[in-house]
Amino acid sequence: MTSPSLPAAGPARRTVMAAAGAAGLAAALTACGSGDDSSGTADTGSATGGSAQDGAGGTALARTADIPEGGGKIFKDQGVVVTQPSAGTYKAFSSKCTHQGCAVGSVANGVIVCPCHNSEFSVTDGSVKKGPATQPLPAAKITVSGDEITLA
């Protein structure tokens, strides 16, 4: 008497489904938790002349001339917003609003604005200027070398 053989594809499908579930969970946690844990975020890049000690090449974002003084520019693909609060000083923050995870939509007149519920954040330090958000935008690490701004 022979026993029926089972297809061998079961574990591969299970592995694929587990990986897809883990990736979805990681994405959801990143979007929802970005404002809750500032301890995992490095300090913001410094003004021109600041040290780029790690020498590792990051993602080139922009030229310093691309970032308006008192304003900034949003880099959707990298999930950051880079600002120039005063001449020659560049800062970077997560572009995800800490209220409900929407992507911020504009930077002007010293504030970063989320279009979902009109929360406003300071271009200087990411602090909340107007709610409903209650947590600041987490800082992101950038380096400025010459006229190039790089995401570290």
Residue 95's CATH number: 2.102.10.10
Residue 94 lies in a domain: yes
What is the mean pLDDT of the segment spanning 101-110? Answer: 92
Tell me the pLDDT band of 47, cut-offs 50, 70 and 90.
very low
User: Is residue 78 in a domain?
Assistant: yes
Segment holding 142, helix H or strand E: strand 142-145
Domain that holds residue 107: 59-151
Residue 48 belongs to a domain: no
Give CA–CA dist 151/146, Å, rounded: 14
Is residue 6 assigned to a domain? no
Between CA 41 and CA 139 the distance in angstroms is 6
Q: What SS3 class is residue 71?
A: coil
Q: State which amino acid sits at residue 41.
A: T
Q: Is residue 38 part of a domain?
A: no
The answer as to whether 16 is a domain residue is no
- Going by DSSP bridges, is the β-strand pair 89-94/106-108 parallel, antiparallel, or unpaired? unpaired
Range name among 14-18, 45-49, 79-83 with the lowest pLDDT average:
45-49
Q: What is the pLDDT of residue 140?
A: 95
Is residue 54 over pLDDT 90?
no
Average pLDDT (123-141) is 94
Asked, for residue 102, whether it belongs to a domain, the answer is yes
What 3-state class would DSSP assign to 21?
helix
Listed residue (73, 77, 71, 51) closest to 62, CA to CA:
73
Domain count of the fold of the chain:
1
Residue 133: is it exposed, middle or buried by C-beta count within 10 angstroms (0-12/13-18/19+)?
buried
Task: Flag whether 54 is in a domain.
Answer: no
Average pLDDT over residues 31-57: 37
